[in-house]
Amino acid sequence: MEKAPDDVSNIHNRFSLTLVNPGSKYFSLVVSMVVASVTVLAIYFGYLSNLGFEENWYRLPIVLGVLALTQLLDTRFSKKKEYSKSLHSSLFANMLWTVTLLMGILSSIVLSKDIEPFFIVFGLLLFASFRIGIYTTTLGASLKKAWAICFIQPVAMYLVLIPQDLWVSILSEPIGLGYGVSFMIIASVWSVVTDRAGRPAMASTHKTIQAYLASQGNDFEDAEELMEQRSNETKVSTSQIKFSMDNGDKEFRIILPEIHPGPYHPVGGSNIPYLIYKNLSSSAMVMHSISNHTLNLPSRNEVEKYLHNLENTKVKDEGIKCTEPVIVQINKSRVTGLLFGNNPLLFLSLSPHGMEDIPDYIKTEIEQYANNKNYSQTMIVDCHNAMGEEISKEDGEDMLKAAKSCLDTLISKNSFPIELGYANTDQMDVWTEDLGMGGLGIICLNINNKKYFLGWADANNMENGIREKIIDIFAKEGCQLLEICTSDTHYAPVKARNRNGYYQLGLITSAEKLAKWFLTIAKSAEANITTVKFEILENETNVKVMGQGIYEDYSKALDNSLKITKGFVIGGVVFFVTSLFL
């Protein structure tokens, strides 16, 4: 039996619904003009053919002018005064009118009957009913306000499209009025029912949808307010390995925050890896710890609180020695380990096969095993370097075996003085759509006269196989690249119109170009190698995190809304089809 998706994955899968809207307001503007032109032609070549288009051609540019003016006017009635949403909704509403007219013509041909003029008013009222649904769900209008303004655009177009002496006779077609008003009532009922789909946990599903849509235009206040209201304060830890150069002038840190990037750009802690990176003078690798979306910071306020407290750390251990790396591969699972003093640092990966966030049970079992082996502080990195689903039971067991084997081996390894060099791409032109603001970073570790490289990218995961291609290119240059980790940032340089909502590293930029950038900074890191000492630092901060309940409620509301919508759509289509046989 197929496993049901978790709440976060379920919400993420619904993201594709936002791709129904065109990506550009100009596209909607142009296509709505084309659709309105088809409406004019359908009416004068089909329903009012006796009047002749030649005598009424001037109505076409007037209709288009009225359409453009009412699209501008519509922005005055929406909560956020957004022109793009006005254009998108106008496009789909006009399409309903056009499709109704064309279906009426088609039914007359197929059924060998006269063209029924009631389709004109039927389509007009379908236009208005769609506007009721759009205004109440996405544009923030009350149902009463939606009824008051839903007629403005379709009626304005109708008045300049139809000769004045036919206004009343067409509008009073009883069948068209009956069907049209029925759909307006259906749209109103649908709006009320879907708004209540998330109750009692969510008072208004529509407000949540409106906040999300607004945040896609960088207006994130409403979304953060809603999320912060539902979040709970908890204590989160941040582990660090701080490397200080002998001369004391420079330092570099590996950061493992217990919080998780997200929930999505630009809300809350979506760009938290880069903010931590900049907070530490761009001399850090902010790794993905074993965490998931329940540990998202819901707002900028909580982000600032976390960053402000990050400097309040306690030194748990310090030293100058480290082991050579240990790599254990069991089937798909790979664990790379280093031991700083008595503090293991483990990198977990399934690349090139990929997986979602490593579940907490794996962290818990590894830490317990490490404690039993008398290790001091175990730090675990989720490399997050290949796309995939939630880890399977078999792969999870292999990962635990590999981690335990790695810990067993590290105990017996000799330790040597640490030499380290670090470099990043801050001074390079590496902007690309699949890379976050932190760019790329790399460290070169010289241990026992052997050099090892560790790469980092401020990116949301990696395309499968990219890691392996880059490592192969490094190997051809005589360099051993142990791992490439991503921060799992949820920052998006551009809005990705795909199912994921982001571009994973390597989807846009080729492995060859990434390897070239990595090799460039690897040479700089190697040239900067110097003797260092390390400190294991620990920080604890009280912040609000989103928790699991909020995702359960959002997921339930979305599922209920979609079930309701499917029922209404199926019923509406069946009801519409009956009109074709009249």
Residue 284: its H or E element: strand 284-286
Integer Cα distance of 236 and 269 in angstroms:
14
| Low-confidence residues of the chain: pLDDT under 50 | 1-4
CA–CA distance, 291 with 333 (Å, rounded to integer): 18
Q: In whole angstroms, give the CA distance from residue 107 to residue 114.
A: 9
94: exposed, middle or buried (C-beta count within 10 Å: 0-12, 13-18, 19+)?
buried
Would you list the DSSP string of 60-81? HHHHHHHHHHHHHHHGGGSTT-
Cβ-contact 332, 352 below 8 angstroms: no
Directed axis angle between helix 83-110 and helix 25-42, to 10°? 30
* Residue 576 burial (CB count, 10 A): 17
Tell the residue number behind the tokens 């790695």, with chain if given.
406
Q: In whole angstroms, how far apart are CA 200 and each of 95, 329, 579?
A: 36, 48, 38
Nearest to 354 by CA among 327, 381, 382: 382
Chain-centroid distance, C-alpha 228: 19
Phi, psi (degrees; rounded to nearest 5) at 142: -75, 165
DSSP H or E run through 84: helix 83-110
Identity of the amino acid at 5: P
Distance CA 75, CA 262 (A): 31
Residue 270 near residue 264, CB atoms below 8 Å: yes
How far is it, in rounded angstroms, from Cα 460 to Cα 386? Answer: 10
Cα 57 from Cα 70, distance rounded (Å): 21
Domain ranges of the chain: 7-215+553-579, 234-323+377-386+418-545
The answer to whether 551 and 227 are in contact (CB under 8 A) is no
Q: What pLDDT score was predicted for residue 24? A: 84
pLDDT score at 283: 96
Q: Which residues pair with 174 in a beta bridge?
A: none
Task: Extract the tokens encoding 459.
Answer: 């990116």
User: What pLDDT does 13 receive?
Assistant: 65
